[in-house]
């Protein structure tokens, strides 16, 4: 039991949450959506106070980063977005953003407070790029 607790403690060291980040506001100018929080590898930046839901959402992204050796997350994320934006003609829109496979998982599960505890590795693979 003691071991389980210390393992959970170790796991919860990352991602690191940074609140009241100005950088997020500037990144929003480059994005099709207003960014409230963003996960950059092991660090989550948030414009203000971070809620439990956002914390879960960004921690799901952090797990996805780990599963794809960080660079894979960025490549797949961009591929999905550009595929929707250009090939499926969604434009640089919120719809294109929401159909990114990593976002599909995060939005589907960020209200489930038990999800991260029982999440299977590579769970995002069951989400498909929409037409």
Kindly list the residues in this chain that would bind Zn ion in the complex (CB under 5 A).
103, 106
Comparison of 4 and 36: residue with beta carbon closer to Zn ion: 36
Q: Least distance in Å: CB of 3 to Zn ion?
A: 32
CB-based closest residue to Zn ion: 106
For residues 6 and 31, which CB has a smaller minimum distance to Zn ion in the complex? 31
Give CA separation, 116 vs 11, 44, 59, 63, 97, in Å. Answer: 11, 16, 8, 9, 22
For Zn ion, which is the closer residue by CB, 7 or 74?
A: 74
Q: Residue 39 contacts by C-beta under 8 Å, 6 or more apart in sequence?
A: 15, 58, 61, 62, 65
80 close to 106: Cβ distance less than 8 angstroms: no
Q: Which is nearer to Zn ion, 4 or 46 (CB)?
A: 46
CB hemisphere CA count around 38 (13 angstroms): 17
Tokens of 125: 């693979």
Q: How far is the CB of 97 from Zn ion (least distance, A)?
A: 8
> Least distance to Zn ion from the beta carbon of 95, Å?
14
CB of 43 to Zn ion, least distance (A): 14
């Amino acid at each position: 039991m003691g071991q389980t607790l210390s393992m959970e403690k170790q796991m919860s060291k990352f991602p690191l949450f940074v609140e009241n980040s100005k950088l997020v506001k500037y990144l929003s100018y480059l994005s099709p959506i207003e960014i409230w929080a963003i996960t950059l590898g092991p660090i989550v930046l948030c414009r203000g106070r971070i809620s439990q839901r956002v914390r879960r959402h960004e921690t799901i992204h952090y797990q996805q980063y780990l599963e794809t050796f960080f660079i894979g997350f960025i490549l797949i994320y961009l591929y999905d977005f550009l595929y929707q934006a250009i090939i499926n003609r969604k434009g640089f829109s919120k719809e294109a953003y929401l159909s990114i496979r990593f976002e599909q998982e995060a939005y589907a599960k960020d209200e489930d407070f038990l999800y991260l505890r029982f999440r299977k590795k590579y769970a995002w693979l069951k989400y498909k790029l929409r037409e």
